[in-house]
Structure 1
Amino acid sequence: MQNVRTTTLNRTTLMFPLALVLFEFAVYIGNDLIQPAMLAITQDFAVSATWAPSSMSFYLLGGACVAWLLGPLSDRLGRKRVLLFGVLFFALCCLLILLTHNMAQFLALRFLQGIGLSVITAVGYAAIQETFEERDAIKVMALMANISLLAPLLGPVLGAFLIDYVSWHWGFVAIATLAGLSWFGLKAKMPSQQHSVTRQPFVYLFDDFKKIYLDKRFLGLSLGLPLVGMPLMLWIALSPVMLVDELKFSSVQYGLAQFPIFMGLILGNIVLIKIIDRFPLGKTILMGLPIMLVGTLVLLVGAIWQDYLAVCLLVGMTLISFGEGISFSVIYRFALMSSPVAKGTVAAAVSMLLMFSFFIMIELVRELYVHFHVLAFSLSCVVLITLWFLLPRLMLKQEMAIRHTHDQF
């Protein structure tokens, strides 16, 4: 495998991540702007409101189904070429969804739009990790996360505006426009060094994935990603139903309720950037996960004592998002570097594991929600974070011990 020279973070090298994060913002707001409008969309297509979470789960499924191809393809053709094609494809799918006439067509286009998620995770993130030094790469990921988190902050408010004053169709036009602007930025600022890193024939692709998924080190570290990220994904998928349909929040109240939660995530990323150089890599994960566990228990209190449900949902999810902010980027770095296989392929393996997990859990909890309502959501979050304290925590401690021993010599 050909090594790619890393660089330090400065104003010049920051232009590439900023161009990439504009596309990431477009992809994320492609969910966060549309999800609040899903109740109106289900009415337009004359289907039950319980179909609202499926817009997000099909979006995630689309991301999962092509990661296996995009990551290895970028190893062979170059990150930049695949990334630019993916940005254009995403923008086109955003425009094509304007022509849909029923829920089946709408979900099919949501599936295709979801490929943009794989472009980010399997190609874009791999390029970031290869371009920058280890701790700089984590800082860049955290910085990108903070910028992209404007999507879930602004999305619900803008989605409420779409519902009340214009049409949801204009949301997709705006998203396609953002993706187009990102394409020009990436074409100009993405480093030319992001070229093919392997000459291995494509026939060896499945051997690579087999090697990755049979690696206990990879699995132990990578499984921590969906466990940590799932509660917030469930919240994004189900909060329109919980807050608007059940608790009777207005569209504007729903949008404002998202602010403390995603501000918690932004604050977590800022704290990560500030303290990561002071501690051994991985220490912030051990700080963040107990905070997330406390947050899930607060959710459970609200589900049991319904008089405090709204407050407990907001407080619990804010704690969960803060803990995720100081943990997720570091877990991702550990997962990506846990296998010696070409990083585009490893990033694709991580992406598939994440997206399929998200799709399965969102659809499962959606079904449970029909019968058990908020209790299903709260218990699912408790179980997910509790599971992290088993194998993923053990593998993390082992990885930190190996790094500590290596640093001593």
Structure 2
Amino acid sequence: MPQQQKNTIQRATLMFPLALVLFEFAVYIGNDLVQPAMLAVTQDFGVSSAWAASSMSFYLLGGACVAWLLGPLSDRLGRKKVLLGGVAFFTLTCLLILLTQNIESFLVLRFFQGFGLSVISAVGYAAIQENFAERDAIKVMALMANVSLLAPLLGPVLGAFMIEHVSWHWGFIGIALLAFLSWFGLKAKMPENQQRIPKPPFRDVWDDFKQVFQNTRFLGLTLALPLLSMPLMLWIALSPVMLVEELGFSSLQYGLAQFPVLGGLILGNLVLMKVIDRLPLGKTVLIGLPLMLLGSVLIVLGAIWQSYFVWCLVIGMSLISFGEGMSFSVLYRFALMSSEVSKGTVAASVSMLLMLCFFIVIELVRVLYMRFDIWAYSLACLVLITLWFSLPRMMLKQVMQERVAAGQF
């Protein structure tokens, strides 16, 4: 099969990633704006605030459940067709949720909205990796991450504003508008596949997934992704309850508390983009993960000395997010390239494992939090990051050694 020519980072080639990141921003703010507004949603539906975290977990579950289809489908029909269809579907579900009358139907629509996560991870990210050279693809991913991080930075503030001044319904209207605009950008700027891919029978999809999931290296590198990104996901899911209900933060204080945490993620991505051409690929991960471990230890220390908990929590989460910014894009690239199966199927496999782990851990920690309070959150962060230093670290070291032996920097 002929190799597709790889693009370098130029103004013209960046138009497609910028159109994609507008949709990514819409999908992410579909979580980050909605989560702080969930206290108002649960009040409107007359249910306990404990349902607030379920909005996020069902969103992630939706992403996990459809990735198996979107990735292989994009291998056969083309990335662009599947991506445009996914953006249109996400826009529609954001409008339909305005009609919900109870928490059950609300969560069903949140599940369907979660399909947008797989549209990005199983289709959009695969297209980025295919259209750009190795280090340029990592830089583009880091650049996209920084732009999309405006969502968790602005989301809590806008969510707080909605709680105090307008209905939460307006949030979904704004999200639908952003997704609608991104559809036009993607239609105009996303390149078509430069190589014709045959359309094998659907039964081959099962064989492809079987081959991917039997790959030990793929499993080790892919499971590294939720271990390092889960603490920040738990922060987004539980910080409204933890900071506002438990610690008595105002809506504005809650929004401001997000800035150092998510600013750390932005800074980590900027550092990655700055040093990636100077260091062996993977070295930034080995620098970032010890910082994440230090941050998780600080959070546990804050749980022990609770008079310092807020300071330890914010500083610890800032270190964790900084380390994640230095690490995630590199590990994603290694995971995607760990199998020779078509990249849509591999990206779908990554997405399924990632979203499924997110759903299980968020729901588990949510239940534990109701009983053990901040100790559940603190220890969950420490355990997740500590686990990374087992099989995932070993797999990363093996990949780096093989790259050295092959003369790759």
TM-score range normalised by the length of the shorter chain:
over 0.9
Tell me the residue number matched to 1:137.
Answer: 137
1:170-209 correspondence to structure 2 within 5 Å: 170-193=170-193, 197-209=197-209
- 1:117 alignment partner in structure 2: 117
The corresponding residue for 1:373 is 373
The residue that corresponds to 1:326 in the other structure is 326
Determine the C-alpha separation between the residues in 2 that align with 1:122 and 1:104. Answer: 27
* Aligned counterparts of 1:193 and 1:75: Cα–Cα separation in 2: 10
2:254 maps to 1:254: yes
Task: Show the counterpart of 1:299.
Answer: 299
Equivalences for residues 191-340 of structure 1 within 5 A: 191-193=191-193, 197-340=197-340
TM-aligned CA distance change 1:199 to 1:2, over 3 Å: farther
Tell me, yes or no, if the aligned pair for 1:198 and 1:342 is still in contact at 8 Å. Answer: no
**Contact 2:302–2:313 (Cα < 8 Å) also in 1:** yes
Specify the code of the residue in structure 2 equivalent to 1:189. K
Q: Please report how far the alpha carbon of residue 200 of structure 1 lies from its aligned counterpart in structure 2 after TM superposition.
A: 2.3
Overall identity of the aligned pairs, in %: 72
Number of aligned residue pairs: 409
Cα distance, 1:298 vs structure 2: 0.6
Shift of 1:199: 2.9
- CA deviation map 1:348-403 (0-9, x unaligned): 00000000000000000000001101110010110000000000000000000001
Q: 1:309 deviation in Å?
A: 1.0
The residue type paired with residue 199 of structure 1 is K
Asked if 2 retains the 8 angstrom alpha-carbon contact of 1:79 and 1:196, the reply is: no
Measured in 2, the distance between the counterparts of 1:396 and 1:59 equals 30
C-alpha displacement at 1:197, in angstroms? 3.5
- Mapped contact 2:227–2:385 kept (Cα < 8 A): yes
Q: For the residues of structure 2 that align with 1:137 and 1:63, how far apart are their CA atoms?
A: 23
Supply the AA of the counterpart residue of 1:67. Answer: A
For 2:214 and 2:109, how far apart are their aligned partners in 1?
A: 33
- Bigger drift between 147-156 and 299-308 goes to 299-308
Secondary structure of 1:292's partner? helix
Q: Closer, same or farther in 2 for the Cα pair 1:75/1:250, shift >3 Å?
A: same
- More displaced stretch, 215-224 vs 21-30: 215-224
Cα gap change, 1:204 to 1:120, in 2 (>3 Å): same
Indicate how the Cα distance of structure 1 residues 195 and 257 shifts in structure 2: closer, same or farther if over 3 A, else same: farther
Amino acid at match of 1:312: C
- 2-side partners of 1:6 and 1:101: how far apart? 49
How far did residue 195 of structure 1 move?
6.2
Find the residue that maps to 2:276 and give its secondary structure: helix
The alignment's TM-score, normalised by the length of structure 1, stands at: 0.99
Aligned partners of 2:224 and 2:392 also within 8 Å: yes
> Is the 1:2–1:198 contact (alpha carbons within 8 Å) kept by the matching residues of 2?
no
Following superposition, the deviation at residue 272 of structure 1 comes to: 0.2
Distance of 1:288 and 1:43 partners within structure 2: 40
- Structure 2 partner of 1:50: 50
Find the aligned partners of 2:66 and 2:389 in 1 and give their Cα distance: 30
Distance 1:239 1:41 in 2: 16
CA displacement at 1:217 relative to structure 2? 1.1
Letter in 2 for 1:27: V
> Does the Cα contact within 8 Å between 2:8 and 2:136 map onto a contact in 1?
yes
The change in CA–CA distance for 1:346 and 1:14 in structure 2 (over 3 A counts) is: same
Code of the residue aligned with 2:95 in structure 1: it is L
Q: Deviations over 1:66-99 (max 9, x none)?
A: 0000000000000000000000000000000000
Asked if 1:102 is matched to 2:102, the reply is yes
For residue 196 of structure 1, report the CA deviation from its aligned partner: 5.5
- The aligned counterpart of 2:397 is 397
Task: Report the Cα distance in structure 1 between the residues aligned to 2:364 and 2:219, rounded to whole angstroms.
Answer: 22
How far 1:263 sits from its partner (Å)? 0.4
Which residue matches 1:61? 61
Tell me if 1:25 matches 2:25: yes
Question: Helix, strand or coil: the match of 2:199?
Answer: coil
1:143-200 Cα distance to aligned partner (Å, 9 max, x none)? 0000000000000000001010000000000000000000000000001236653432
Give the match's secondary structure for 1:122: helix
CA separation of 1:405 and 1:178: change in aligned 2, threshold 3 A: same
Give the deviation of 1:2 after TM superposition: 5.5
Q: Which runs of 5+ in 2 are unaligned?
A: none
Gaps of 5+ in 1: none
Counterpart Cα distance in 1 of 2:50 and 2:327: 32
AA aligned to 2:50 is: T
What amino acid sits opposite 1:85 in the alignment?
Answer: G
Distance 2:259 2:285 in 1: 24
Residues 79 and 193 of structure 2 are in contact (CA less than 8 Å); yes or no, is this contact kept in structure 1?
no
- Give the 3-state SS of the residue equivalent to 1:223 in structure 2: helix
Query: Is 2:2–2:195's contact at 8 Å kept on the other side of the alignment?
Result: no
The CA distance in 2 between the partners of 1:117 and 1:241, in whole Å, is 24
Deviation track 1:209-240 (CA, whole Å, cap 9, x = no partner) reads: 11100101111111100101100001100000
Q: Residues of 2 paired with 1:91 and 1:318: CA distance?
A: 32
Give yes or no for contact 1:197–1:342 (8 Å, CA) kept in 2: no
